[in-house]
Structure 1
């Protein structure tokens, strides 16, 4: 699963793909059927890259991509409009280590909505983009 370039914009529903950058912000395209283009000013809007999003866990944060992989492997995915008890039971399966006091039903709904958006995209089955050579070199020196 390749989530590079996919972002969530605060105050805007759905997910967006970064398609460009200008002096004041980013040019985004919605991932829904309308393919609406949007220019977002970085000083007034918050962007969250799906690659960087984590969920509170009991023993450390859980990466969103790992939760998506477990949802992908699960047999049935509940509707995002399901009640909180159903969502909590499902999240105990796909993210058993999530912090039940800090992860709210609204968070679980948002994750399932995002999953339903990206599961139809070609990048859903792509391998994650490789790190640039300079980043790989930095990681290998940090491990020593």
Structure 2
């Protein structure tokens, strides 16, 4: 599911990939406006499915981190005021989600962005972060 959700550098929010055109992507905002815009080849685009978080051992895919955050919040948006929180408060909050995260390589802005993205996804009705195909492979 996260493969079709995109972050575009320089543009706020998250976007759902609708289609590909010649030298551009057609995306739709995940907010209430559902505005469709083109994203050109010159824009830096990252799929949420390609992002992972640093831990003391291996990197953890963003889908697993978002699922852990959803379980901690019981599927609700985060009511923690992450915008005004100190580094220590952010790390304490994130340690409840991913206890072994690398405190040297995961910055305060990374935690803030994660919470912001989680809230956007929950408000947009995206609540399944794991790929269904990944679950099928482990079942076999």
Same fold (TM over 0.5): yes
State TM-score, norm by structure 1. 0.81
Q: CA 1:24 to 1:75, structure 2 compared with 1: closer, same or farther past 3 Å?
A: closer
Does the C-alpha gap of structure 1 residues 127 and 35 become closer, same or farther in structure 2, counting only changes over 3 Å? same
> CA–CA distance in 2 between the matches of 1:34 and 1:120?
12
Deviations 1:84-135, CA, capped at 9 Å, x for gaps: 222110111111121111111111000000000111334314762437xxxx
Matched, 1:27 2:19: no
Structure 1 or 2, whichever has the larger Rg, is 1
Give the aligned length: 131
1:80–1:110 Cα contact (<8 Å) kept: no
Q: Structure 1 stretch 99-108 or stretch 75-84: which is displaced more?
A: 75-84
Cα offset, 1:9, TM superposition: 0.5
Deviation sequence 1:41-81 (CA, Å, 0-9, x none): 12x11111111111122111111111111111114842331
Q: Give TM-score scaled by structure 2 length.
A: 0.83
Give the match for residue 38 of structure 2. Answer: 39
SS in 2 for 1:66: helix
Root mean square deviation of aligned Cα: 2.2
The change in CA–CA distance for 1:37 and 1:75 in structure 2 (over 3 A counts) is: closer
- Counterpart of 1:130? 133
Supply the distance in 1 between the matched residues of 2:46 and 2:64 (Cα, whole angstroms): 17
